[in-house]
Every structure is written in structure tokens, then in C-alpha cells.
């Protein structure tokens, strides 16, 4: 495989989510390398890939050549160029121009919204009071979403298909949910479409399964259930031990099932090759086609 994507902590790194969606949602095979932020490993990754210094960074190895692409918008353009049929940008002239403009505005702007209400997929705060600057950013985002949804017919910003522009705005959808920003009906519908997208569901399940908590991203506010709507209902699932799985090999890696990596999912015992595979499956089984094939 010739694509490696370096990402940070899945619950908190909004730019990493964008980069990952730009590959996963478009069916491009790649390997993910998770580098915990604020760690020695992160500093080593930065040194090894200088001048790139942020996640996501995409490494492309091809024909004896290695390319490094950092900056999520550059990753989007590189992939769109290499996979013109994948649909990163809409086909129609108007939708394509608008999608690029909206993605550019997201990449360069919304500083207030990106700062204090940072992405945190583990929280649903009650009582968050946006500042005036955060309110202005949220209103501009919703104005752009409303306009694009009306112009191009939704449910995504470029029309019927999820595109790079949606990857750029997906973390904003999560911020609106995490911090309880008020949303008009169009924004609410768009947020639901993002939360229902299979690749977004996979990312969220990985975040649920990530054992690392970074309290620097927490607010001193009461928090509700981060598994609730607008996330689609998840199948009943729990990690278990001491039973026999219906499968001998991990649905994801095809490696042998391990006794410490079992789960009861929708009433059946499924095995995995490690606890991480188990936990992302427990978090949202229906997000994973290979798992659903075992359960069929």
C-alpha cells in the first residue's frame, strides 16, 4: 500500500479527521499511523517528516519516490488530482466552485470557532456560553451551509454526494453538537447527514475506542451522553470474556481471534485480533462492513 496517513488523537484532532475522511470516504486504500499528540512520538514524527509538522500528513510512496503532503486542503487537491473519478469535488461548475470556496473558507477561517470550542467527541456539554466571536463564526457557517444545501439540493454541501467540502466541515458539525450551539433546521439536517455517513461513523467509533483522554480539551461544564443522537442508534454491544466466538479470524485483519478480544454484538459472540478492534466494533458495529458480513 503506498499511502500512509499520520493522524493525531481521534477524539480531539479535527484536522486529522478531515484528512482521514478524504481517503476513507472515497474508497482509497491507505494505512493509518496514529501518533499521540503532545508526546515524544509526535515530536519524533515531526522531526522525521520536516518541514511537515502537523497532522494530518500524507506520505505517498511510489516508483521509488516519496512525497509528503501536509495541510488538509493540499491533501484534498492531491487526492482529487490522483483520483478524478472519486468525487472529491462536485461535477457541476457552480457546485464545484462553491465547494472549493467553502472548503477554502473553512481551512483559512473560523478562528474563534476552532479555538475554545475545540473538537471533543467525548463530550456533550450543557451550559456552554459562546462568545460574540464564536457566535458570529457559527452564524456564518450556518449561512454557508443553508445556502449550499438550497443551491445544490443536499443532503451534502455539494449536492447528493459526500465531498471534500463535507470532510472539511465535519468537525464543525461535531462542535455544534458537543457545545450545544443553536442550529437552524437546515444546519440540523446537515449535521444529521454527517453523523449518518459511514466513514464519519467509523471515525467516531475509533474515537470511542481510543483509550487516551486529554483533559486539556475538557471544559468545566456538565457533560451528557456522547453516544446519543444525532449519532444513529448503535447495535447493542459489549466486551466480554470466556465465551466462544462465531468466527475464528478477525474480520479486519484476518489474524486469529484472541481470547481477550471478544464482544457480544446484537446477541452474538464475535472475536477480534486485539482489544482495539473489539472496542471500535462495540462502539458502532454497523459502521464496519467487514463485521456486518460476519454477523450476516
Q: Is position 286 an interface residue for ligand GSH (rule: CB under 6 A)? A: no
74 vs 143, which CB is nearer to ligand GSH? 74
Q: Where are the beta strands (DSSP E) in 64-168?
A: 65-70
Nearer to ligand GSH, 217 or 252 (CB): 217
Q: Cell triple for residue 34?
A: 496514529
From the list 3, 58, 72, 193, which residue makes contact with ligand GSH (rule: CB under 6 A)?
A: 72
Select the residue interacting with ligand GSH from 5, 10, 13, 89 (CB under 6 A): 13
**Site of grid cell 449561512:** 143
Q: Which of 39, 183, 214, 257 is nearest to 119 (CA)?
A: 214
**Contact letters (x/-) for ligand GSH, 105-144, by CB under 6 A?**
--x-------------------------------------
Shortest distance, position 56 Cβ to ligand GSH, whole Å: 6
Q: How far is CA 225 from the centre of its chain?
A: 19
Among 69-77, 146-154, 187-195, 235-243, which window interacts with ligand GSH (CB under 6 A)? 69-77
Binding segment for ligand GSH (CB under 6 A), chosen from 14-22, 172-180, 210-218, 239-247, is 14-22
Find, among 91, 216, 242, 261, the residue nearest to 160 by Cα: 91
Q: How far is CA 62 from CA 59, 161, 272, in A?
A: 10, 29, 32
The answer to whether 174 contacts ligand GSH (rule: CB under 6 A) is no
* 142 contacts 186 by C-beta, under 8 angstroms: yes
Q: If we measure between CA atoms, which residue out of 33, 25, 26, 24 comes closest to residue 6?
A: 33
Nearer to ligand GSH, 42 or 147 (CB): 42
Is 53 a binding residue for ligand GSH by CB under 6 A? The answer is yes
Among 4, 28, 49, 71, binds ligand GSH (CB under 6 A): 71
Handedness of CA 239, 245, 249, 251 (dihedral sign): negative
14 binds ligand GSH (CB under 6 A): yes
Three-point CA angle 82, 83, 88, nearest 5°:
115
Applying CB under 6 A, the residues found at the interface with ligand GSH are: 8, 13-16, 53-56, 71-73, 107
Amino acid at each position: 500500500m503506498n499511502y500512509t496517513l499520520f493522524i493525531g488523537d481521534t477524539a480531539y484532532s479535527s484536522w486529522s479527521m478531515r484528512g482521514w475522511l478524504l481517503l476513507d470516504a472515497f474508497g482509497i486504500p491507505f494505512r493509518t499511523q496514529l501518533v499521540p499528540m503532545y508526546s515524544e512520538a509526535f515530536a519524533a514524527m515531526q522531526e522525521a517528516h520536516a518541514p511537515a509538522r502537523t497532522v494530518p500528513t500524507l506520505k505517498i510512496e511510489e516508483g521509488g519516490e516519496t512525497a509528503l503532503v501536509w495541510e488538509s486542503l493540499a491533501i484534498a487537491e492531491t487526492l482529487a488530482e490522483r483520483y478524478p473519478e472519486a468525487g472529491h469535488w462536485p461535477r457541476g461548475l457552480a457546485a464545484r466552485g462553491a465547494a472549493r470556496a467553502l472548503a477554502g473558507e473553512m481551512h483559512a477561517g473560523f478562528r474563534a470557532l476552532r479555538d475554545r470550542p475545540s473538537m471533543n467527541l467525548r463530550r456533550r456539554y450543557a451550559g456552554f456560553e459562546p462568545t460574540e466571536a464564536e457566535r458570529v463564526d457559527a452564524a456564518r457557517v450556518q449561512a454557508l451551509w443553508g445556502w449550499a444545501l438550497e443551491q445544490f439540493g443536499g443532503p451534502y454541501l455539494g449536492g447528493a454526494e459526500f465531498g471534500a467540502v463535507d470532510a472539511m466541515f465535519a468537525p464543525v458539525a461535531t462542535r455544534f453538537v458537543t457545545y450545544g450551539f443553536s442550529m437552524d433546521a437546515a444546519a440540523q439536517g446537515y449535521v444529521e447527514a454527517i453523523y449518518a455517513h459511514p466513514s464519519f461513523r467509523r471515525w467516531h467509533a475509533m474515537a470511542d475506542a481510543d483509550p487516551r483522554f486529554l483533559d486539556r480539551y475538557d471544559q468545566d461544564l456538565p457533560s451528557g451522553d456522547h453516544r446519543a443522537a444525532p449519532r444513529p442508534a448503535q447495535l447493542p454491544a459489549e466486551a466480554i470474556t470466556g465465551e466462544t466466538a462465531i468466527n475464528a479470524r478477525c474480520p479486519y485483519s484476518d489474524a486469529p481471534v484472541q481470547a481477550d478480544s471478544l464482544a457480544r454484538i446484537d446477541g452474538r459472540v464475535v472475536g477480534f485480533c486485539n482489544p482495539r478492534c473489539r472496542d471500535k466494533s462495540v462502539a458502532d458495529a454497523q459502521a464496519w462492513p467487514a463485521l456486518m458480513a460476519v454477523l450476516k
